[in-house]
Every structure is written in C-alpha cells, then in structure tokens.
Amino acid sequence: MRGRIGFALYNLLVWCLVVAVAFPLLWMIGTALKPNDETFAIPPTLIPAHPTLAQFHRLLTDTPFLTYFTNSVLVAAGTTILVIVIAVAGAYGLVRFRFPGRSLIAHMVLFTYMLPAVVLLLPLYLIISAIGLANSLFGLVIAYTTFALPFALWLLRSFIAGIPLALEQAAMVDGAGRLRAFVDVVLPQAVPGIISTAMFSFILSWNEYLYALVFINVDERKTLPPGVLTMLNQNQNVEWALLMAASVLMSVPVLLCFVFLQKHLTRGFGASSVKG
C-alpha cells in the first residue's frame, strides 16, 4: 500500500514538473495563434478561440525577420563548424600526445570557460574592431568561438580519452598512418561527443544576445535575438502576439536538432563507453 502511494505521489510530482515546464511553451504557441484583439482578452485563454496564422504571415512578409533568421543560421553554423574542427584536433592532441604541462593546459582551458562572458566583451570588441571585422558576421563567429571552444574542447577530450588506444594502435600496425587511424578509428568512435558538442555550440550561438547586440550595429546584419527585440520595440509598444510568433519560429531549428540527433546521441553514448 505504501509503495503504491509513493509511486502515485512520484508520478504526480513528475507531471507537475512537466506541466510547469510545458506551460510557457503552450502559452507561447497559443498567443502566436491569437488575433490581436484576443491577446489581451479578460479572462485570458490558453487555447485561441479563433486561431489564425496572420501573425506568422505578417512576421514573414512585413518585417525583416527572414534576414535576421538567415544571419543567425550563418553565424550558428559557422561557429559550430569552426569549434568542432579546432576542438577535435585540440582534444586529440591533449589525449594522445605526451608533453610537459598537458594536464595544466587542459585545466586552464576549462578555467577560461568559467570567466563571465561580459568580462571578455570589451577586449574582444577592441580586437575584432582592430582587425576590421566589426559589424560583420565573421567577427561574431570568432567571438562566439572564443567562449564556446573551451567547454567543447574539454567535452571532446573526455570522449576521446574513452576510446581504447589499442584500436588506434592496431590500425597503425596494419599500415595506417596517424592521420588515417585518426579518421578511420577515432572519429567514428567520437561521433556522440562531436554531435553533443555541435549542439552545444549551435544553441549557444543561436540564442546569444549580448555579443550580437554590441558587435553588430547594422540592421541588415543583426541576428535574431537583438533583431527581433529591436524590430518589435521601436515604438515603445511591444506587440506580444507578433513576438510570440517570432519566438515559435526561433525555436524550430533547436527543436529539429534534438528531434533528428537524439537517437544518434543515445546510440553513440553507449558505443563510446565500450573499452578494450
């Protein structure tokens, strides 16, 4: 009897947490589907009485949302690719090569991630301005790489350290060089780490607001977070239904990443833990 009561209370707690997490998302979607006169209706409604796609149509046709969306895709994809290339090579070097200070370098890399992003804002802005990349998407990619790379390097270091060295040595005994063994043996085993690192880098770049606000002052080069807020707050009057429609579309790429990569993450984590 006590076991059943405990199980029921546990399920009740879990569902309460699910509702608490899902409610803001449901409210966002519901508001995006409401006409303007229903947005501020009293009493408020979660499910629109007269659902409409007018807010989405207006967002895509009457605002520069698509420009901001394209810029965000370019910045997030560029940052992800750059971070993955550097982090994979750096993590492999830290794990497989023996040199003085190797452990210290790994810990110092992680320490740089612990610094607040705002501390690096002014130095990075001065450096990027000095090399002529201010108000450019590539300059923003470099800035995002600086604080996404330390965590990505540390994460991939753990994955590559879990790959048995014997597999790589066996490939080299069979005639493969270091590079071929890395490509044929290490990279396939490190797929779960690469995918999780790519997701981390993409989401960080997609949602980042402060750097995008400071580094980009030209409207046609703004990314989604500062661009949407500027677009909807020009007259000191926020259009909440339009903002919710923009929020829904901004969430789509992140949701798609989780939907399509979740099975690869689950399958890969198990494969990467096999040793010897």
The 3-state DSSP class for residue 31 equals helix
Indicate whether 274 pLDDT > 60: no
Q: What is the token pair recorded at 169?
A: 């040595």
Could you read off the pLDDT of 95-134 as tens digits, one per residue? 887 777 777 777 777 777 777 778 888 888 888 888 888 8
Could you read off the pLDDT of 128-152 as tens digits, one per residue? 888 888 888 998 999 899 888 888 8
Could you read off the pLDDT of 188-197 as tens digits, one per residue? 888 888 888 8
Indicate whether 17 pLDDT > 80: yes
Q: What is the token pair recorded at 198?
A: 């790519």
Indicate whether 265 pLDDT > 70: no
Percent of the chain with pLDDT over 90: 11
Sign of the torsion formed by the C-alpha atoms of 102, 165, 183 and 260: negative
Whole-number pLDDT of residue 76? 93
CB 132 within 8 A of CB 66: no
pLDDT band at 79 (very low <50, low <70, confident <90, very high): very high
> Mean pLDDT of all residues in the chain?
81
Indicate whether 40 pLDDT > 50: yes
Could you read off the pLDDT of 168-185 as tens digits, one per residue? 778 777 777 777 888 788
Number of H helices, E strands in the chain: 14, 0
Task: Compute the average pLDDT of residues 44-63.
Answer: 82
The 3-state DSSP class for residue 128 equals helix
Domains of the chain: 2-52 (no CATH), 57-272 (1.10.3720.10)
CA dist., res. 161 & res. 157, Å (int): 6
